[in-house]
Amino acid sequence: MATAFVAIPTLIVVALVLTSEPPEPGEGSPFLRLVEINGVFASLVGLSVVQPFFLPLATGLLAGDAIAGESSAGTLRYLLVRPVGRLHLLAVKYASVVTQVFAAVAIVALTGLAVGGLAYGIGPLPTLSGTTLAVGPALLRVAGAGLYLVLGMAGLVAVGLLFSTLTDSGPGATAATVGVYIVMEVLDALPALRIIHPYLLSHHALAFADLFRSPIALDGITRGVIVDAGYILVFLALTAVLFSRKDVTS
Amino acid sequence: MSVLATRNLTKHYGDQVVVDDLNLIVERGELYGFLGPNGAGKSTTIRIALGLVFPTSGSVEVCDVPVFTTVRSDGPLRLVGAVVEEPAFWDYLSGRRNLELFARAAGPPDDRTARLAQIDEVLKMVDLEDAGRKHVKAYSHGMRQRLGIARALLGAPELLVLDEPTNGLDPQGMREVRRLLRRLADNGVTVFVSSHLLSEVETMCDRVGVLSSGRLVADGPPSGLRKASGSVVFEVDDGAVALGILRSLEGVVVEDEATVEASTGAPSRLRVRLAEEVSAAQVNAALVGGGVGVGAVRPEQERLEDAFLSLTEEPDSHEWAPHAG
């Protein structure tokens, strides 16, 4: 998985270096044609490419396996009789999966920065509003974009952890978690369901682009953070209640 | 003081009653055998005692502390080491690494340090000092079973709960595990061991509880499991003559004459049931008086399997037979 996260921004930059054709308007990431101006944009293109599929897939794999993997290996009962408290176990597993998702996002951002910088150099960043950002603040905003993506995935981790406690099959919990995210993306693409769009985890995911306007447009990002926090709280609470009352028969 | 006690413990799964009003008390320092056929509710009882499965009603106490009001890392489970069904590990790590991770997994820092310091000792106890470096996936079944016991011993538990610890072991491995458990019990550790093998429990345990359909149907020293059957066996040097004499006596019923041969002069074993007023000595005198040499006279014990079956068989157990096919 880590290989994929290194490979994606690298391939994007290599493809750009090898071809000179500009993308059609509206095609690809809004940052794509900007990479050739400034290597920093390779980070942002990398993040927007992994966001809809690779990142939820990795997140689903890690979260789905967190408890169900121990359960199917039989080690869950031995941890619990040690005794590791059930809530303590959930907290440790949640933190460890979110940390790994953070690492995945960091790999994409840093690889993009390195490869993009090598190919096109790193300089002051033109914003989507036409102004220019110094290198320092630009890198800070890239970090902010990464953290915003991690927060969205932290919501998905909470969903995945719930599935992971409900089954003894890691792959089953993974499939359910990734499935839920894909269904959200599909629903998000249906204009008729506009009324539920604000409550979908995936709806706000690309709002991090707003960090690269001047001044920063905080509306979308704020709504995203609130929805993410809501998913985290609701699903962690539900998981905690159900898991602490569960008969562990695996 | 009891180390493990269940009070009116009951567990339902839907309509099915798995543990039925179970009252069990294991005293400190005992090696207690928890015996019952597969499906009698042994594993469920053990899982409830370890806080893994919640009882429908009733309670479990470990060292007089209820398990189900303090299911936290400072709860009574700190005093317990356990093997629950198959010993499971992270197979891609070495045996030693597994023990390290489990030693670090819970409790205050002092406990973790103490458990880490015990790893060499427990590996030695189960004779896995050298194999500790190998990946667990390369372990034989017996080695996994022993590593499971080593893990249970981390933290110097007061109570060791072992669910079928000799399951799948060869006779040599079974004997080693039995010796280890006996040694632990002699050193003051209370050992609670489940088994579906009567002979195993009988040779090893101080006390035996027999579980059948979730209920405790017997509880006591293993010698009490087998009752005298009321029959007496005579070993004689002339079966045919002896049989004639026995049949002529009042209050004597010959139960087994299978070894008697038609010709006289052949030795045989005869099992007879005696009425209250007849003693084995009187029968012996009659046989000797009739010219039969009596090699041995002994009261016959109930066979082990019979004792087990009579304890665990449901009175209406024949009812399921038509459905079985």
Contact A9, A22 (CB under 8 A): no
Are the Cβ atoms of B73 and A77 closer than 8 angstroms? no
Are the Cβ atoms of B77 and A85 closer than 8 angstroms? no
Are the Cβ atoms of A77 and B78 closer than 8 angstroms? no
B11 vs B17: CA distance, rounded Å:
6
Average pLDDT, chain A: 91
A73 contact residues in B (CB cutoff 8 A): 88-91
Q: Which of B90, B91, B106 sits opposite A83 (nearest CB)?
A: B106
Are the Cβ atoms of B71 and A74 closer than 8 angstroms? no
Q: Give the gap in angstroms from C-alpha A81 to the nearest C-alpha of chain B.
A: 6
B139 vs B91: CA distance, rounded Å:
9
The chain A residues in contact with chain B (CB within 8 A) are 73-75, 77-86, 88, 245, 247-249
Are the Cβ atoms of A82 and B52 closer than 8 angstroms? no
pLDDT one-digit tens code per residue, A218-229 = 899 999 999 999
A91 contact residues in B (CB cutoff 8 A): none
**Test the A interface: residue of B71, B80, B92, B192 with most A CBs within 10 Å:** B71
First to last CA, chain B: 48
User: Over its length of 325 residues, how does chain B's per-residue pLDDT go in tens digits?
Assistant: 799 999 999 999 999 999 999 999 999 999 999 998 888 899 999 999 999 999 999 999 999 888 887 544 457 888 999 999 889 999 999 999 999 999 999 888 998 999 999 999 999 999 899 988 999 999 998 899 999 999 999 999 999 999 988 887 888 888 888 888 999 999 999 999 998 888 788 888 999 999 988 999 888 888 777 666 678 888 998 888 888 898 888 888 888 887 777 777 788 888 888 887 888 888 899 999 988 999 888 887 766 667 777 777 755 444 443 433 3
Contact A3, A23 (CB under 8 A): no
A233 vs B207: CA distance, rounded Å:
51
Are the Cβ atoms of B72 and A82 closer than 8 angstroms? no
**Test the A interface: residue of B43, B84, B118 with most A CBs within 10 Å:** B84
Q: Give the gap in angstroms from C-alpha A239 to the nearest C-alpha of chain B.
A: 17
Are the Cβ atoms of A247 and B54 closer than 8 angstroms? yes
For residue A217, the model assigns a pLDDT of 86
Q: Give the gap in angstroms from C-alpha A216 to the nearest C-alpha of chain B.
A: 45
B71 contact residues in A (CB cutoff 8 A): 83, 85-86
A83 contact residues in B (CB cutoff 8 A): 51, 71-73, 75, 77-78, 106
For residue A142, the model assigns a pLDDT of 94
> ipTM > 0.90?
no
Residue A219 class from Cβ within 10 Å (0-12 exposed, 13-18 middle, 19+ buried)? Answer: exposed
pLDDT higher at B189 or A1? B189
pLDDT one-digit tens code per residue, A69-80 = 999 999 999 999
For residue A38, the model assigns a pLDDT of 86
B57 CB contacts (<8 Å, ≥6 apart)? B8, B9, B10
A85 contact residues in B (CB cutoff 8 A): 71-73, 106
Count of other CB atoms within 10 angstroms of residue B41 = 22
- State whether the Cα torsion B277-B280-B282-B286 is positive or negative: positive
**Test the B interface: residue of A82, A90, A168, A244 with most B CBs within 10 Å:** A82
Q: Which DSSP string corresponds to B63-113? A: TTEETTS--STTSGGGGEEEE-SS----TTSBHHHHHHHHHHSSS-HHHHH
Q: Is B80 on the interface with A (CB under 8 A)?
A: yes
Residue B289 class from Cβ within 10 Å (0-12 exposed, 13-18 middle, 19+ buried)? Answer: exposed
For residue A20, the model assigns a pLDDT of 65
Q: Give the gap in angstroms from C-alpha A206 to the nearest C-alpha of chain B.
A: 39
| Closest residue in chain B to residue A69, using alpha carbons only | B90
Q: Is B77 on the interface with A (CB under 8 A)?
A: yes
pLDDT higher at B259 or A20? B259
